[in-house]
Amino acid sequence: MKRELDSLVTQMHSSGMRYDDAVKEFKRQYLREVLEAHRGNQCKAAEELGMHRNTLSRTMAELGLELAEVRAGLKRPPRSERPVFSAARSLYRQS
């Protein structure tokens, strides 16, 4: 993991990314990951992060991270877009 982080930091530096922008992007991605792991539940995410839920909410607003955007990736696709396992269904119905 350390090598991956070193590589990322090198890429950010060589691309000319400013420190403030790098920190902001890291925070944004880290919070998104924790929120996705808790399916958008801010209370559980804040507890894991060791902060108050209000602080998490305020930080998300400062970073422009919308909870709806996090939850959108977690929803099941509509039935019309779900894969159909017709062979499995027919076997199940026959038994």
Range of the domain at 11: 2-75
Q: Is residue 13 one of the residues assigned to a domain?
A: yes
- Quickly list DSSP for 31-63: HHHHHHHTTT-HHHHHHHHTS-HHHHHHHHHHH
- The CATH number of the domain holding residue 67 is 1.10.10
Number of domains, the chain: 1
| pLDDT digit string, tens, across residues 38-73 | 989 999 999 999 999 999 999 999 999 998 888 876
Q: Is residue 83 one of the residues assigned to a domain?
A: no
Q: Is residue 7 one of the residues assigned to a domain?
A: yes
Q: Taking the C-alpha atoms of 43, 50, 61 and 4 in order, what is their torsion angle to the nearest 10 degrees? A: -120
| pLDDT digit string, tens, across residues 9-30 | 899 899 999 999 999 999 999 9
| pLDDT digit string, tens, across residues 80-94 | 766 666 555 555 566
**Environment class of 45 (CB within 10 Å of its CB; exposed 0-12, middle 13-18, buried 19+):** buried
Q: Is residue 20 one of the residues assigned to a domain?
A: yes
